[in-house]
Amino acid sequence: MVATFGLLTVVFHAARANSNAVPSVAAGWIMAAYWFTASTSFANPAVTIARAMSDSFAGIRPTDVAYFVVAQVIGGALAVLFFRWTANAPIASTNR
């Protein structure tokens, strides 16, 4: 939930402020989330399903996929609500 919420939040706000920054911001978030989340950043349901088919240290048991996907959907919904709540806030200008 944390990885998905954070990913969508930084992408929404980066897109609003500077759409050219979105790829770098998203990559930075995923790199950081890999280290600070216990799940090694399961932020995307498609990746979660793919990792269930993996036999690596970053894989998950197929029986746990549904729990991860539910958490990702909740994180995504919370990110959308958070973005709608903060969308009316003024954008900080970097031009001085």
Sign of CA dihedral 47, 30, 58, 69: negative
Question: Could you report the per-residue pLDDT of 35-46, keeping only the tens digit for each?
Answer: 877 666 777 888
pLDDT greater than 60 at residue 65:
yes
> What's the pLDDT band for 23 if we cut at 50, 70, 90?
very high
Share of the chain above pLDDT 90, in %: 25
- For 5-30, what is the mean pLDDT? 89
pTM of the predicted structure, to 2 decimals:
0.71
> Mind giving me the DSSP string for the chain?
-HHHHHHHHHHHHHHHH-GGGHHHHHHHHHHHHHHHSTTS----HHHHHHHHT--STT---GGGHHHHHHHHHHHHHHHHHHHHHHTTSPPPP---
